[in-house]
Chain A
């Protein structure tokens, strides 16, 4: 125990209840990166990297191929390439949504129910929100692998008419950034719910992403939906994200939002939004969802602290 005494003497000068702004920022960044690494390890450590890569990309790739083949069958092999592009982009990008929405909520559930570490994370000097965002980012990276491979296969195997010279890069980059922020915000709302609920909430992210899949124009345009469903779609940032990305990648692609008889057309007075218009709508809805997510999370965290939920294992 002599070593303990020596170590303790050296260390004791470093525990400090106060920190400078610079130290705080450094700690937040370090905590975020470590949480991301933790998320990646807990996500991918169960097998070797090759198997994990296959696991991560197979689901979105085969889901997309299934949709494309169904369209081919239904259309008698005459589905226009632009519509195939529509479906491939929507389905491929959905990997981000599934991973991002589930990532934060499952981080809460994993750490509370499975690893029993949520309370230790909560009472560490880092903000739990930062750690959850890091965990969520790790899962988003997994989703990104699936999305990139799916889109790549769409171009190479399915012959999507992608012209690099015609891509609107600024809109694409801005749309991706805003879209990912909005996905994380939605994930944060679900994490707030998971913090309050029982272990059954493992299924909530799937249910929510499944419901959103129907109303945001992922694989079919909004104008085939009832008006109230279109209204829900128009207030979702995911709808505008998909639209903006499609517009940036394929300028001539059909709109998933507008079209004859659509709610958008009746409200806006023109047939379909431009790329910039979609981007602005994405910005607006993302800001609203993000603010709502942060407020919801803070409320949930306070309530969990008030009710002592951080170390309660529901085990239902």
Chain B
């Protein structure tokens, strides 16, 4: 049952409801299964992430949900509207921005191109110009307002693309690898804009695909890990990480441990203790601390361990709890990482802003870690 447009959407309807969605591309010698029975629900107001390597099926799912592609099997709806039969309703309440592409009418000015789309989205002339000018300011393209699209940098084009995507104030915003190919600062601006847009009005929904794990981890309320056309796990980042780590893991740095790590392993609540490395930070290169990876049944076992260390004549230099990453989750689920895919993809696009460091998994993680500090 389609939802009423006022208020923004009904809590009763799902923003996305995909049931057993399959997609097979005809190809020789064998058909390619891009989606293999996807079941997915996204609630209104969620920022939901699809995380997976290239070829996982993320973009194919977005194409189906944005009415660009028909599913081979199954059903899907957006705010209650069927993606096959009610395309016009869906197109009025959604928008899509894809990253890593050089789209745009190069001969048009930034302002002209946005205004043109405002008319395609059904806005009136005056309302169109008003939104265009506001969005140009919001995304930071004031200086490029009358510049031709062909003269924009990759990051500026993505800002323009973002502004186009926001013109019709969609209920649901599909972002397909929005930071792909952007330099670090442009990627950061894109993430900030995304979060600010969603936070501005309760109920705005975002479906984000990415293969930057730190990006998805930081931004998304929930996410699905996708590989080879199938959803392997769905949950909040914390839930997913918890799935692969039921124990508590600590990284313990001690000044000495004369009786060896075996003494720690025998303490109550300790599952395992292993010496992982030493710090050679003395001037003469002499090892002067000991690093231990300590696996406990739960956090509560840490107290007795700390007490026992005094009896072992060992002093704690540092103590850090080790959190699993989404990569650990992916490896646990799939049995492999997708670093190789990522490298190949980034090198293949060639979409990097001249003179700027391109965003990659490492830089995204660094930046997000810095922000959280």
CB interface residues, A 1-50, toward B, < 8 Å: 1, 3-9, 11-19, 23, 26-27, 30-31, 33-35, 37-38, 41-42, 45-46
Residue of chain B at shortest CB distance from A310? B68
- Asked if A122 and B122 sit within 8 Å, CB to CB, the answer is no
Give A94 Cβ to nearest chain B Cβ, in Å: 27
Which of A5, A12, A31 is the one whose CB lies under 8 Å from B119? A31
- Asked if B119 and A34 sit within 8 Å, CB to CB, the answer is yes
Q: Residue-by-residue, is B145-171 near A (CB-CB < 8 Å gives 1, otherwise 0)?
A: 000000000000000000010001111
Check: B102 CB closer than 8 A to any chain A CB.
yes
Name B residues whose Cβ lies closer than 8 Å to a Cβ of A: 2-3, 5-6, 8, 25-26, 60, 63, 66-70, 79, 81, 88-94, 96, 101-108, 112, 116-117, 119-123, 127, 131, 134-135, 137-138, 164, 168-171, 192-193, 196-197, 199-201, 204
Q: Hey, which chain B residues are within 8 Å of A41, CB to CB?
A: 105, 107-108, 112
Q: How distant is the Cα of A1 from the Cα of B134 in the complex, in angstroms?
A: 12
18 residue pairs of the A-B complex, CB under 8 angstroms, read A5-B200, A7-B131, A9-B201, A13-B6, A14-B123, A14-B169, A15-B168, A17-B2, A17-B5, A17-B79, A17-B92, A31-B119, A46-B107, A119-B68, A123-B91, A125-B88, A308-B68, A311-B63
- Asked if A7 and B93 sit within 8 Å, CB to CB, the answer is no
**Residue of B105, B171, B199 ringed by the most chain A CB atoms within 10 A:** B105
Check: A198 CB closer than 8 A to any chain B CB.
no
- Asked if A305 and B68 sit within 8 Å, CB to CB, the answer is yes
Count A interface residues, CB 8 Å. 49
Residue of chain B at shortest CB distance from A303? B70
Q: Hey, which chain A residues are within 8 Å of B137, CB to CB?
A: 3
- Asked if A124 and B5 sit within 8 Å, CB to CB, the answer is no
- Asked if B91 and A4 sit within 8 Å, CB to CB, the answer is no
Closest 8 CB pairs of A and B: A5-B200, A1-B196, A116-B103, A11-B169, A17-B89, A34-B119, A8-B200, A45-B107
Q: How distant is the Cα of A1 from the Cα of B192 in the complex, in angstroms?
A: 9
Give B147 Cβ to nearest chain A Cβ, in Å: 14
- Tell me whether A19 and B92 are in contact in the complex, defined as CB-CB below 8 angstroms, given that A31-B119, A37-B116 are known contacts: yes
Which of A13, A115, A119, A126 is the one whose CB lies under 8 Å from B104? A115
Name A residues whose Cβ lies closer than 8 Å to a Cβ of B: 1, 3-9, 11-19, 23, 26-27, 30-31, 33-35, 37-38, 41-42, 45-46, 115-117, 119-126, 131, 305-308, 310-311
**Residue of B63, B70, B117, B169 ringed by the most chain A CB atoms within 10 A:** B169
- Tell me whether A18 and B89 are in contact in the complex, defined as CB-CB below 8 angstroms, given that A8-B169, A12-B8 are known contacts: yes
Q: How distant is the Cα of A310 from the Cα of B103 in the complex, in angstroms?
A: 13
Q: Hey, which chain B residues are within 8 Å of A5, CB to CB?
A: 196, 199-201
- Asked if B120 and A12 sit within 8 Å, CB to CB, the answer is no
- Asked if A120 and B70 sit within 8 Å, CB to CB, the answer is no
Q: How distant is the Cα of A41 from the Cα of B116 in the complex, in angstroms?
A: 11
Q: How distant is the Cα of A305 from the Cα of B83 in the complex, in angstroms?
A: 12
Which of A18, A116, A122 is the one whose CB lies under 8 Å from B68? A122
Q: Hey, which chain B residues are within 8 Å of A3, CB to CB?
A: 134, 137-138
Give B148 Cβ to nearest chain A Cβ, in Å: 9
- Asked if B196 and A117 sit within 8 Å, CB to CB, the answer is no
Q: How distant is the Cα of A45 from the Cα of B112 in the complex, in angstroms?
A: 12
- Asked if A15 and B171 sit within 8 Å, CB to CB, the answer is yes
- Asked if B200 and A31 sit within 8 Å, CB to CB, the answer is no
- Asked if A9 and B107 sit within 8 Å, CB to CB, the answer is no
Beyond the given A19-B122, A115-B104, A123-B67, please list 11 additional residue pairs across the A-B interface where CB-CB is below 8 A. A4-B200, A5-B200, A15-B93, A17-B3, A17-B81, A26-B122, A35-B120, A117-B104, A122-B68, A125-B92, A307-B25
